[in-house]
Structure 1
């Protein structure tokens, strides 16, 4: 009998997911408070099947995009990227940003960004999450994989025209808020 995933599942982050997240968030997340739901955040299953959400400091995936461990080697880089993007919203929530209220308008928010601002706070919430996830991708898999994910059919949201050699330093400047 196949061990099928059912909606209604609730769990904490796995050790592998925590290790994966620490690469970008370090100790700035309280990992023991991050619940991961296999369910719709909205009543009556109104959360779209291909949409992940983190409006209240918890992650919500429908069963079609839920995994028992997003750090598993069999999980695609694109799905790990989405997981990190949603964890960025948890980070925002844990640091006092009104993710739920602003998230109501995320359908109208611009996810695309340029690396032209001084700090992460100068971007909207979705751009912040996109920058964090894209920087994680760059840090973990290198510039070639990062560049491949900037394809319109994938998850990357960078739309600048920077010299490719400058991109890692530009991300570091925005993430840390200082030139390195």
Structure 2
């Protein structure tokens, strides 16, 4: 018995002219969905890009340790990548292990790279960590994340968080997870920065001392700090 190829099965669905009205409505929706799925899951994640530099690997391994396969990570910058970023309304965006950036910065660990690009790069690396460690996204969080792509929609609430006692890192949506990990890495973990008592604009808690802030972050990140690969071991 010969099995038909998927395209052979679908071709009559799209080419037939004498079809009910509802089929005419469904066809473009099916086609658009297939194209979007193909772009998001096949085309974009497999675009070429440079490998991480030794400095970037060292910088990122301080946070993610051996929970990420750094050999798989690629950094991409192109006109097409810029178009993808504009649609997503993001300075950087991650698909699988591919990070699409807003510039062709050769090394985000270099001293001359400003704070915000390094911060954003680490935030995107948190999404790579999620993808490689099977951190799933709830449907309600997915809907909320898609909403921020609508012009005029509020974005900040998707990233803002409160370190509620008893909540693990994976209890937050994926953008909040990335914000918490990155804020801890840049504002809490380094002693010289922590001493300045700087609170992240994404954190809505009213901490009064560096010690109080450190305890709150490390309580939420307890499992992550012990073993960053813990989500895939659940």
- Show CA shifts across 1:39-87 (max 9, x none): 3666x82422862001222100133xx4110000000122111111000
Match of 2:124 among 83, 86, 101: 86
Q: CA deviation at 1:98?
A: 4.8
Matches within 5 A, 1:31-42: 31-39=70-78
Match of 1:168 among 214, 220, 224: 214
The alignment partner of 1:170 has SS state of: helix
The alignment partner of 2:182 has SS state of: helix
Check conservation: 2:85, 2:100, Cα contact below 8 A.
Answer: no
Q: Say which one has the larger Rg.
A: 2
Asked if 1:147 corresponds to 2:195, the answer is no
Check conservation: 2:48, 2:74, Cα contact below 8 A.
Answer: no
**5+ residue gaps in structure 1?**
1-7, 151-155
Check conservation: 1:40, 1:61, Cα contact below 8 A.
Answer: no
Matches within 5 A, 1:21-36: 21-36=60-75
Structure with greater proportional helix content: 2
Pairs aligned (count): 162
Tell me, in whole angstroms, the C-alpha distance in 2 between the residues paired with 1:98 and 1:41.
27
**5+ residue gaps in structure 2?**
1-46, 149-154, 227-234
Match of 2:158 among 110, 114, 126: 110
Check conservation: 1:71, 1:80, Cα contact below 8 A.
Answer: yes
Closer/same/farther in 2, CA of residues 91 and 106 from structure 1, 3 Å limit: farther
Q: CA deviation at 1:158?
A: 1.1
Q: TM-score, normalised by structure 2?
A: 0.60
Q: TM-score, normalised by structure 1?
A: 0.77
